[in-house]
Structure 1
């Protein structure tokens, strides 16, 4: 399954080295470090492992993972989101969206201008609405939309009046997004998130890729609301989802 778009064509020069560099990171997708890419987003290893009924989402970079955050602009409109993303071949219904709704991806994001985890107080200060800058996790459903740029991806909008299937932890935004509260753990050059599943079998047969990217909220806060505007790096080089869970 291939989800190639012109937006990431510039990353095709990246070398995917499965048998050479980064020997300390076993399995998954091994990728050579790339000059000119911010080291905190320079993906060198991407993996989804299985431990019992838990999927462990892993990304390693050439620098310090999670070091870079978007610059705060002081408002939602036009604000930026930095993200580490695992696009997958899992059906969105696995986590509570409609079957076949789009490309299901797991993401870890930071965005200082808004908070989209209303059920969680990540910084422990008693305010549920001021934690957006802290790295946190989402499920998102993606599709291409030329309104974001030719062939570019967006988080799918929910039209006014539509009633799609949504996870219980949907944050109330008019997007196919979930805020499940799984805590990302950053350690040196690595990022890992442990995600439990009632049926790990739905994960075991899936494929994946790794992406570091920036998204932007529409300046008019209108559909398309959240577009991918800058791809820092793609683990496979062309978003071909070559990774196999547990391998």
Structure 2
């Protein structure tokens, strides 16, 4: 069992699985070309079965080695759901659902690359703050949608005809996609003061709110990096202490041997 544990936890084994995930992602991408896929269907099918079999064996080996500890890790459960879903749906008529699970295998890259795991963990840690920021943004959108409908309904009914159209228009402005030439300038020609409405909305939502979200994610990523560094320092200190103890034990052994002589 110890040999199996070393094999499953070995860096080379994890690199092999990561490489297999990348190959699987490339194959799924190539399958989107009907000419290539139809002419080489047997090859693609065989490779897919082999890759799925290896993923299944990997998960089973991890369960055998880690046992209950396997289910204490979110990423292990994530891998299990993807592989289990792929295996269960493989011989069923639910082709569309199977395709979703096959594409989801690409996300397994996140669970095998530590830096990606750190970023996703930071994103999950930021969810409470992001939720608060999104709530504020929803209020801002609602207020500006009402103002836009009240001020510019007559000038531009296709963009500000009602609160729903105003909300969609504001989302387009928020993404900065063709907002100046398509939306702002025609309204600005008839209402010169409209620049304040549009500019203030962009500054508040696109610049300030988005920077708050990004800043929170960056802070969490930095905290995780600091925690990892602290853990690494602790491990180094423990290794140093163990080395010092071994040296002292060796010295004691030498003294005892000399006394026995």
TM-score by length of 2: 0.20
More RCO (CA 8 Å, sep 6+): 1
From the two aligned structures, give the one with the greater strand fraction: 1
Larger Rg: 2
Structure richer in helix, relative to its length: 2
TM-score after normalising by structure 1: 0.21
